[in-house]
Amino acid sequence: MADLQEALATFWGIEGARITPLTGGMNSRTWSVEHQGSTYVAKSVPATALADLVAGAGELRHLDLFRRVRAAVQGVYFAGRVAADDLTGGIDPAENTKGLDDARRLLTDLGVT
């Protein structure tokens, strides 16, 4: 779990997350990651995949851009759900607002707003 904690902090800026192994017949190591009220799924990939990524064309230099785009897309998605009062998936309006707030916070943390 320490390796996953380190990877989450290094690559995604997620620190102090609660990590729970998921079971159920999946063919790989998978975890539920809870951080600041949001839940994510983390999946193990072979070390060679990361080594190939790092040794490749230096894709990691674009990580900040990827994080900004991810936050912007999340913001647009949840802004649309809030504006339309979209409750698809059986969620309540507070969850849509939380998704929008999470995107806003991530953009702020990245220095975009």
Q: pLDDT tens for residues 22-35?
A: 776 555 677 778 87
Considering only CA atoms, which of 38, 46, 45, 4 is closest in space to residue 21? Answer: 4
Are 13 and 31 within 8 A, CB to CB? no
> What pLDDT is attached to residue 54?
56
Least confident of 3-7, 37-41, 56-60: 56-60
Domain boundaries, given as residue ranges, for the chain = 1-44, 57-113
Other beta carbons within 10 Å of 69: 11
pTM > 0.75: yes or no: no
Q: pLDDT tens for residues 72-85?
A: 999 999 999 999 99
Cβ neighbors of 67 (< 8 A, separation 6 or more) are: 12, 13, 106, 110
As a whole number of angstroms, the distance between CA 58 and CA 56 comes to 6
